[in-house]
């Protein structure tokens, strides 16, 4: 094989939600790493949007929860079935970066519209994405720019734009926030809460046309020019590029990238005029991406974990009910905890989060047992039974320690005259293995 | 900013084996001051058997060990609208509409008042158990949520440090070694930096239900053993894989220890649930020293008045939940502290909200704090160039105070530098039992308005003539809030209101009336007495209340001169609402047939609570012992519980338009009973709730019939039959008292008596049941209450053998006051 199967499996887990044994071996047979990466980044088969019908049903406000649920589960099902998972992975990234929470914006229609925009531009151009993001009704509502007017500026959006979306704290002044807030006055929306519809509008009478000093330049700034300025200003452009590159690497590879990696990727990002696809290609081609520290360096978020299980078992949301489990595990799509989105790794590890995952696994394995999952396990030798359980969850390269623990448990279990428990507990232990919980 | 790196480092440091000691490392001996080490005897009360407690290392709480409960308000709580500077004109000028009016705030002193929804906090303040620290901040403020919260949580002398540890975590580092998982806990899914130390880490506990891993079938024990084996050694999957597996082992440890905390129905509100779990955890005496609770939603850039009011209400409810569930044996060793990343700007924005600010106040709550104000309100007229307030108390001084005076730790070491302590504590932790906490929702149990100890025997006025009930569709007679019928009552003031000839009540032949009387918005503790106009006021009360409480009670009263009654208010300013439920007439009408109480509805066991906008029709004719025909009205004991909002129930004859009247007023989360005389319409009554959702429980305790030999009613001058406060002999748990109700002006052959029963200062949640002597105690209750609450209710009870009724208290330490106010002829 031309490419190491372990590297392919790793890439499929990170650029998507894992792969089948056949997918791994097919890609590993390609000529070189570039061919594998190009195959993963080929999004031609990305399915068209399937807008949940309930969004267009003439309904009353009581339906809003059902609408939101349809939007949530629709996305999770899409993640679990798409032939182009990199699109959903990048959409998840932008959803966590340019974030909006349904707790604050209880408008399924606007949230769906926002996510659809992120998906359409998921691997596109960062400038386009950022400019469009600012005018999404869900964002205007979430960070209150719909109420930002000359007479009384609301700084919420302007502050987060600089702090969380583009630059990171410490890379702008309080004065820049004031100026950006003034520049964004009047960018608001026409809305009708009853029908859950909202459309961006610019209200010139709310807009502050006076001079503002932003990034050291005093002129009559308008909102979108502020984003362009951050991307074009010689000082802030590399800061922005480093900020985004570091966050993307932390999302796909592991936190704390080396300066070498960041410098190289920033160069690619800037040289390609902030196009994202070349940046992702460069990331996935880096040798560092396949270092053991990176391979072991990320914990699956609850959504990634549940989707990986759904893909392994070929189970839709209507059977696995992510809406029953994800909130307790600590992550639900369309509902990040705050404007900074989700944090990696340690954020997901605690006794409480472990309990939620274990409760999910417990429920799922009873359900699987009812469906006769791995029912012939007890007729197999211990190594075969363990291999079958690992393969069922797409663990292609289990750690030696995991196999050891499973074997010791199985040896003991088989002395106990409780045969019925084998195909209940074996998948349970696999579901709670570090191998499955790591990204 | 989103600094993924410091989370990573923190988690690794905390979840892997102890890392090498850094400059901040120290030993327990070095860490603790001598005074703290001297303590150490285990306190007596525990939820868990001792055998369980030996299973882990955390020692029980010593006699002088302090427990700190931190309530983190994420998003930046508006301190200016929490503790409102009511005398500050600049606040009102700059805040404009987003301010709390001086009259609305709950007054603390001339300069400050609490947000109107902080009624329980006000009651705690009145007990001297709340310290407000004004003007708290840190140098070179940062108005990012994340950076500022990091600075607050880190609490290091070096303002620019990037240490991944929090001051509580570093405190935990010093108090012990090993894996005392429950010495520092945080409720919620993740371990905040606040409780991460160099060597030790707080444990994140679930706030929704017990953990996986506390079952005990053999196959489950083997499953748990395999999970433990995964985490017992290096997993070969790297540091994060090890951390995942170790967290699962921690889960199995913690699951068994904490399973008892999650028993029963937990409150729906996140913060109330966390508070209840925290109180149970302290009561279990597992050695917990710091508990972090988390509340979100404070970033009120828009629509603040409404959103913030809801948050304040939720916080206040949660405070009540915590302090009333905390064992008094531990309360003198518990202090609660609030923290939030920053205050809000003084200026209100145009979205009806406020933007990120700087200096803020925080609260220290508990029996040992120095109640009152500390620090200074920042000069609202001298804002900095960005329109921000300037702090005058460094937050690290607050930490130094808590660490040094409450936790007996070396504050210099934990904070990495010296900070002056405040005088915010009246004393250190002590094992002496604390005095009780205020009842729900505000007001001390002993401040519940002493109705005056009656002379017990002598009636103040002659009984009414016997009358038969003419029930009416309830109608409103008095509402002082809108000036109807009378004006708001001042201290020791009364009004007289005519009932005969008003509405459906005829001018002649009426001897007594049944009224639903509600007091609302009282400014102090007190009581109301309703008596016949023109007669000497008896030393008795119809309802007792504390400041800001809303209390309803049914009143059965003789009509006096001019067909009127007199309503007397003992103290403060009180609004009074009176609805007429029926009258007793010498011509026609129906008489009472008392029943053994029967439950006719309990929405807790049925599908759903009663939601505003829906009407519950309750068929009563032909139900149980109530006959199908000839029933004019029923007597219901109605209780609401777990209401989602303040509101009232209306009960009226089915088939008629809903009248403007209330059978029972309540506040959010209160449990309130009331006796109701309800006229039937087509054999049914309708019940509606005006706002939110509430559970409703109703027992039918009698009916009024025109046929057979029903008995006419006589209203008497109230006489005190029992007052356990006079001899300080509160009823013990399960105690039964027999009361002789006949005699004086009540004939020996009275068929039933009308009693006003008030419970006060109960030490536990419970209920009281009244029933005829000589019969078995029925499975019913006349009034339910929560610990500390003062609750009155009218009771109609059949007279038993020897003219006695029995009273049972399902509670410990409940004081009971019983007045007789009337009887039904035999």
- Nearest 5°: the CA angle B384, B385, B391 is 20
- Given this model, what pLDDT does residue B41 score? 26
Residues A270-309 as b or e (16 or more Cβ within 10 Å = b): bebebbbbbbbbbbbbbebbbeeebbbbbbbbbbbbbbbb
- Given this model, what pLDDT does residue B24 score? 26
Q: How far apart are CA A366 and CA B470, in angstroms?
A: 63
Residue B31 confidence (pLDDT) above 50: no
List all residues 6 or more positions away from B247 whose beta carbon is below 8 Å from its beta carbon: A349, A350, A351, A353, A354, B15, B231
* A327 class by beta-carbon count within 10 Å (0-12 exposed, 13-18 middle, 19+ buried): middle
- Given this model, what pLDDT does residue A110 score? 94
Q: How far apart are CA A265 and CA A250, in angstroms?
A: 13
* Average pLDDT over chain A, rounded to an integer: 94
Residues in chain B with CB shorter than 8 Å from the CB of A296 are 237-241
- Given this model, what pLDDT does residue A64 score? 82
Q: Measured between alpha carbons, how far is residue B462 from residues B465, B562, B716, B717 in Å?
A: 9, 16, 7, 7
Compute CA A247 distance to the chain's CA centroid, rounded to the nearest angstrom: 12
Q: Is B323 helix (H, G, I), strand (E, B) or coil?
A: helix
**What sign results for the dihedral spanned by CA atoms A36, A38, A39, A43?**
positive
Check: CB of residue B782 under 8 Å from CB of residue B757.
yes
The DSSP element (H or E) to which B515 belongs, if any, is: strand B510-520
- Given this model, what pLDDT does residue A36 score? 98
Contact between chains at A345 and B351 (C-beta distance less than 8 A): no
Cα distance from B448 to chain A (closest Cα, Å)? Answer: 40
Instruction: Name the residue among B579, B575, B595 with its Cα closest to residue B824.
Output: B595
Local confidence band at B54 (pLDDT 50, 70, 90 cut-offs)? very low
Local confidence band at B40 (pLDDT 50, 70, 90 cut-offs)? very low
Residues in chain B with CB shorter than 8 Å from the CB of A418 are 218-219
- Given this model, what pLDDT does residue B812 score? 66
Q: How far apart are CA B88 and CA A3, in angstroms?
A: 73
Q: Is B364 helix (H, G, I), strand (E, B) or coil?
A: strand
Local confidence band at A158 (pLDDT 50, 70, 90 cut-offs)? very high
* Average pLDDT over chain B, rounded to an integer: 81
Local confidence band at A313 (pLDDT 50, 70, 90 cut-offs)? very high
Check: CB of residue B368 under 8 Å from CB of residue B426.
yes
Contact between chains at A298 and B240 (C-beta distance less than 8 A): yes
- Given this model, what pLDDT does residue B25 score? 25
Q: Best mutation site among B210, B223, B249, B294 for testing chain A: the one with the most A CBs within 10 Å?
A: B223
Q: How far apart are CA B166 and CA B196, in angstroms?
A: 6
Q: How many CB atoms lie within 10 A of CB B179?
A: 17
Cα distance from A77 to chain B (closest Cα, Å)? Answer: 25
**What is the average per-residue pLDDT within A358-362?**
94
- Given this model, what pLDDT does residue B439 score? 63
- Given this model, what pLDDT does residue B429 score? 95
Percent of chain B past pLDDT 90, that is, above it, reads: 30
Residue B134 confidence (pLDDT) above 90: yes
Cα distance from A206 to chain B (closest Cα, Å)? Answer: 12
**What sign results for the dihedral spanned by CA atoms A62, A68, A74, A77?**
negative
Nearest to A421 among B1, B219, B355 (CB): B219
Contact between chains at A416 and B219 (C-beta distance less than 8 A): yes
Check: CB of residue B758 under 8 Å from CB of residue B718.
no
Q: Is A370 helix (H, G, I), strand (E, B) or coil?
A: helix
> How does pLDDT run across B701-750, given as a tens digit for each residue?
888 887 766 678 888 877 778 877 665 455 666 677 788 888 888 888 88
Selection from B8-17, B206-215, B574-583 with the highest mean pLDDT: B574-583
Instruction: Name the residue among B772, B822, B786, B825 with its Cα closest to residue B515.
Output: B822
Q: How far apart are CA A372 and CA A367, in angstroms?
A: 9
Nearest residue of A to residue B207, measured between CA atoms: A352
> How does pLDDT run across A110-150, given as a tens digit for each residue?
999 999 999 999 999 999 999 999 999 999 999 999 999 99
Nearest residue of B to residue A171, measured between CA atoms: B1
Q: Are strands B615-619 and B372-374 parallel, antiparallel or unpaired?
A: unpaired
* B237 class by beta-carbon count within 10 Å (0-12 exposed, 13-18 middle, 19+ buried): buried
Residue B619 confidence (pLDDT) above 60: yes
ipTM rounded to 2 decimals: 0.94
Q: How far apart are CA B201 and CA B182, in angstroms?
A: 10
Percent of chain A past pLDDT 90, that is, above it, reads: 84
Give the side-chain half-sphere CA count within 13 A for B579.
Answer: 26
The DSSP code for B484 is B
Instruction: Name the residue among A295, A302, A304 with its Cα closest to residue A397.
Output: A295
> How does pLDDT run across A277-290, given as a tens digit for each residue?
999 999 999 999 99
DSSP output for B691-735: SSEEEEEEEEEEEEESSSS-B-EEEEEEEEEEETTTTT-PBPTTE
List all residues 6 or more positions away from B159 whose beta carbon is below 8 Å from its beta carbon: B138, B139, B140, B151
More confident residue, B228 or B310: B228
Give the side-chain half-sphere CA count within 13 A for B521.
Answer: 14
Q: How far apart are CA B620 and CA B628, in angstroms?
A: 8
Q: How many CB atoms lie within 10 A of CB B457?
A: 9
- Given this model, what pLDDT does residue B548 score? 76
Q: Measured between alpha carbons, how far is residue A413 from residues A362, A378, A398, A423, B219 in Å?
A: 18, 10, 21, 11, 8
Local confidence band at B456 (pLDDT 50, 70, 90 cut-offs)? very low
Check: CB of residue B384 under 8 Å from CB of residue B347.
no
Q: How far apart are CA B350 and CA B352, in angstroms?
A: 5
**Own/partner pairs for B268-271, CB < 8 Å, 24+ apart?**
B269/B314, B269/B317, B269/B318, B270/B207, B270/B295, B271/B71, B271/B295, B271/B314, B271/B315, B271/B317, B271/B318
Q: How far apart are CA B531 and CA B822, in angstroms?
A: 12
The four Cα atoms B807, B813, B814, B819 give a dihedral, to 10 degrees, of 70
Cα distance from A381 to chain B (closest Cα, Å)? Answer: 19
List all residues 6 or more positions away from B370 whose beta carbon is below 8 Å from its beta carbon: B131, B423, B424, B425, B426
More confident residue, B816 or B291: B291
- Given this model, what pLDDT does residue A61 score? 55
Q: Is B668 helix (H, G, I), strand (E, B) or coil?
A: coil
- Given this model, what pLDDT does residue A132 score? 97
Provide Rg for chain A, Cα atoms.
24
Contact between chains at B227 and A340 (C-beta distance less than 8 A): no
Contact between chains at A350 and B147 (C-beta distance less than 8 A): no
The DSSP code for A63 is G
Instruction: Name the residue among B266, B276, B246, B257 with its Cα closest to residue B213.
Output: B257
Residues across chain A: 439
Q: Best mutation site among B201, B217, B238, B303 for testing chain A: the one with the most A CBs within 10 Å?
A: B238
Nearest to A169 among B12, B147, B234 (CB): B147
Give the side-chain half-sphere CA count within 13 A for A251.
Answer: 23
- Given this model, what pLDDT does residue B614 score? 85
- Given this model, what pLDDT does residue B295 score? 93
Contact between chains at B226 and A405 (C-beta distance less than 8 A): yes
Cα distance from A10 to chain B (closest Cα, Å)? Answer: 13
- Given this model, what pLDDT does residue B455 score? 33
Residue B14 confidence (pLDDT) above 80: no
Least confident of A111-125, B224-238, B352-366, B478-492: B478-492
- Given this model, what pLDDT does residue B28 score? 28
Q: Best mutation site among B15, B244, B251 for testing chain A: the one with the most A CBs within 10 Å?
A: B244
- Given this model, what pLDDT does residue B608 score? 82
The four Cα atoms A189, A331, A156, B196 give a dihedral, to 10 degrees, of 180
Residue B573 confidence (pLDDT) above 90: no
Q: How far apart are CA B518 and CA B489, in angstroms?
A: 13
> How does pLDDT run across B516-544, given as a tens digit for each residue?
888 888 887 778 888 888 887 776 778 88
- Given this model, what pLDDT does residue A60 score? 59
**What is the average per-residue pLDDT within B421-440?**
88
Residue A371 confidence (pLDDT) above 60: yes
Contact between chains at B7 and A425 (C-beta distance less than 8 A): no
Contact between chains at B251 and A355 (C-beta distance less than 8 A): yes
Contact between chains at A152 and B349 (C-beta distance less than 8 A): yes
**What is the average per-residue pLDDT within B166-194?**
81
Q: How far apart are CA B607 and CA B618, in angstroms?
A: 15
What pTM was estimated for this model as a whole?
Answer: 0.58
Nearest to B1 among A169, A409, A416 (CB): A169
């Amino acid at each position: 094989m031309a490419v190491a199967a372990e590297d392919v499996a790793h890439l499929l887990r990170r650029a998507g939600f894992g792969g089948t044994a056949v997918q791994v071996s097919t890609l590993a047979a390609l000529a070189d790493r570039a061919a594998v990466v190009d195959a993963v980044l080929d999004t031609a088969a990305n399915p068209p949007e399937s807008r949940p019908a309930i969004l267009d049903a003439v309904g009353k406000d009581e339906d809003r929860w059902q609408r939101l649920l349809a939007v949530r589960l629709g996305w999770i099902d899409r993640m679990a079935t798409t032939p182009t998972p990199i699109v959903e992975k990048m959409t998840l990234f932008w959803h966590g970066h340019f974030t909006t929470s349904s707790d604050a914006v209880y408008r399924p229609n606007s949230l769906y519209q926002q996510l659809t925009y992120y998906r359409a531009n998921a691997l596109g151009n960062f400038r386009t994405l950022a400019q469009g993001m600012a005018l999404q009704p869900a964002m205007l509502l979430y960070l209150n720019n719909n109420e930002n007017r000359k007479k009384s500026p609301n700084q919420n959006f302007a502050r987060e734009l600089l702090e969380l979306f583009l630059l990171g704290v410490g890379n702008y002044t309080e004065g820049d926030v004031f100026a950006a807030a003034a520049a964004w006055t009047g960018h608001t929306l026409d809305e009708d809460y009853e029908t859950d519809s909202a459309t961006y509008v610019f209200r010139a009478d709310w807009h502050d046309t006076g001079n503002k000093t932003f990034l050291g330049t005093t002129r009559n700034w308008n909102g979108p020019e502020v984003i362009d300025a951050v991307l074009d200003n010689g000082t802030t452009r590399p800061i922005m590029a480093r900020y985004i590159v570091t966050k993307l690497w932390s999302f796909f590879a592991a936190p704390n990238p080396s300066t070498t990696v960041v410098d190289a990727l920033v160069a690619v990002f800037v040289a390609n005029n902030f196009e994202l696809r070349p940046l992702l290609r460069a990331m996935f081609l880096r040798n560092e991406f396949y270092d053991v520290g990176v391979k072991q360096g990320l914990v699956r978020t609850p959504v990634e974990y549940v989707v990986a299980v759904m893909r392994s078992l070929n189970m839709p949301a209507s059977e696995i009910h992510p809406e029953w489990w994800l909130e307790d595990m600590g992550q639900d799509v369309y509902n990040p905890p705050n404007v900074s989105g989700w944090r990696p790794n340690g954020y997901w590890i605690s006794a409480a989060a472990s309990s939620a995952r274990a409760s999910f696994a417990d429920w799922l394995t009873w359900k699987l047992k009812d469906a006769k999952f791995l029912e012939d396990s007890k007729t197999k030798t211990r190594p075969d039974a363990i291999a079958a359980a690992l393969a069922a969850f797409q663990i292609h390269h289990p750690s030696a320690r995991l196999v050891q623990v499973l074997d010791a448990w199985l040896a003991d279990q088989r002395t106990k005259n409780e045969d019925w428990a084998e195909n209940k507990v074996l998948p349970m232990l696999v579901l709670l293995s570090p191998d499955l919980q790591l990204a | 900013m989103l600094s993924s790196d410091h989370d990573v480092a923190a988690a690794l440091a905390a979840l892997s084996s102890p890392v090498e000691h850094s400059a901040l490392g120290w030993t327990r001996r070095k860490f603790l001051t001598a005074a703290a080490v001297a303590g150490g005897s285990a306190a007596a009360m525990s939820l868990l058997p001792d055998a369980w407690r030996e299973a882990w290392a955390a020692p029980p709480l010593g006699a002088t060990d302090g427990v700190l409960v931190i309530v983190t308000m994420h998003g930046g709580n508006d301190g200016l609208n929490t503790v409102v500077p009511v005398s500050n004109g600049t606040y009102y000028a700059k805040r404009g509409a987003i301010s709390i009016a001086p009259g609305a705030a709950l007054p603390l002193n001339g300069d400050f008042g609490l947000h109107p929804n902080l009624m329980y906090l006000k009651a705690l303040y009145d007990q001297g158990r709340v310290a407000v620290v004004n003007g708290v901040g840190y140098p070179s403020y940062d108005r990012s949520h994340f950076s500022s919260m990091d600075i607050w949580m880190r609490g290091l002398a070096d303002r620019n440090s990037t240490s991944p540890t929090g001051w509580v975590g570093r405190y935990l580092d010093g108090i012990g070694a090993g894996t005392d998982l429950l010495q520092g806990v945080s409720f919620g899914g993740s371990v905040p930096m606040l409780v991460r130390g160099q060597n030790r880490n707080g444990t994140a506990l679930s706030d929704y239900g017990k953990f996986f891993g506390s079952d005990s079938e053999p196959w489950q024990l083997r499953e748990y053993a395999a999970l433990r084996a995964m985490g017992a050694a290096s997993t070969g999957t790297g540091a994060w894989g090890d951390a995942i597996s170790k967290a699962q082992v921690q889960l199995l440890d913690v699951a068994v220890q904490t399973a008892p905390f999650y028993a029963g129905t937990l409150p729906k509100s996140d913060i109330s649930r966390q508070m209840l779990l925290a109180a149970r955890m302290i009561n279990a005496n597992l050695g917990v020293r710091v508990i972090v609770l988390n509340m979100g939603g404070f970033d009120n850039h828009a629509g603040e008045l409404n959103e913030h009011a809801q948050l304040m209400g939720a916080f206040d409810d949660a405070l009540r939940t915590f302090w009333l569930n905390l064992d008094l044996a531990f309360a003198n060793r518990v202090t609660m502290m609030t923290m939030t990343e920053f205050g809000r700007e003084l200026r209100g924005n145009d979205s009806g909200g406020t933007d990120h600010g700087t200096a803020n106040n925080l609260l220290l709550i508990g029996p040992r704090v120095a109640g009152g104000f500390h620090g200074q309100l920042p000069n609202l007229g001298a804002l900095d160039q960005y329109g921000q307030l300037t702090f005058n108390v460094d937050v690290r001084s607050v930490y130094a105070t808590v660490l040094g005076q409450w936790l007996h730790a070396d504050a210099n070491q934990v904070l990495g530098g010296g900070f002056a302590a405040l005088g915010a504590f009246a004393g250190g932790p002590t094992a002496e039992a604390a005095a009780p906490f205020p009842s729900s929702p505000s007001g001390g149990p002993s401040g519940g308005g002493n109705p005056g100890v009656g002379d017990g025997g002598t009636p103040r006025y002659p009984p009414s003539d016997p009358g038969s009930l003419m029930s009416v569709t309830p109608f409103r007679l008095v509402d002082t809030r809108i000036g109807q019928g009378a004006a708001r009552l001042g201290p020791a003031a009364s009004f007289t209101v005519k009932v005969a000839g008003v509405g459906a009540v005829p001018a002649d032949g009426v001897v007594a009336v049944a009224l639903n009387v509600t007091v609302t918005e009282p400014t102090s503790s007190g009581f109301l007495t309703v008596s016949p106009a023109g007669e000497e006021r008896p030393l008795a009360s119809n309802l007792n209340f504390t400041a800001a409480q809303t209390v309803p009670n049914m009143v059965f009263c003789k009509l006096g001169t001019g067909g009127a009654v007199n309503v007397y208010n003992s103290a403060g300013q009180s609004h009074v609402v009176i609805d007429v439920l029926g009258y007793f007439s010498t011509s026609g009408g129906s008489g009472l047939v008392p029943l053994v109480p029967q439950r006719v509805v309990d929405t807790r066991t049925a599908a759903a609570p009663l939601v505003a906008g829906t009407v519950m029709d309750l068929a009563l004719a032909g139900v149980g012992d109530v006959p199908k025909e000839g029933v004019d009205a029923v007597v219901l004991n109605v209780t609401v519980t777990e209401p989602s909002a303040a509101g009232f129930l209306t009960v009226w004859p089915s088939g008629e338009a809903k009248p403007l009247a209330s059978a029972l007023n309540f506040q959010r989360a209160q449990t309130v009973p009331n006796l109701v005389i309800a006229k039937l319409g087509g054999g049914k009554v309708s019940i509606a709730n005006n706002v939110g959702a509430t559970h409703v429980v109703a027992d039918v305790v009698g009916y009024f019939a025109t046929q057979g030999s029903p008995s006419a009613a006589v209203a008497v001058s109230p006489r005190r039959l029992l007052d356990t406060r006079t001899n300080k002999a509160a009823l013990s748990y399960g105690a039964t008292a027999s009361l002789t109700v006949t005699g004086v002006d009540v004939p020996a052959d009275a068929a039933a008596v009308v009693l006003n029963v008030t419970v006060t200062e109960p030490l536990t949640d419970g209920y009281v049941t009244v029933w005829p002597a000589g019969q078995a105690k029925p499975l019913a209750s006349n009034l339910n209450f929560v610990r500390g609450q003062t609750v009155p209710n009218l009771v109609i009870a059949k007279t038993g053998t020897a003219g006695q009724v029995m009273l049972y208290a399902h509670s410990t330490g409940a004081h009971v006051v019983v007045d007789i106010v009337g009887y039904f002829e035999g």
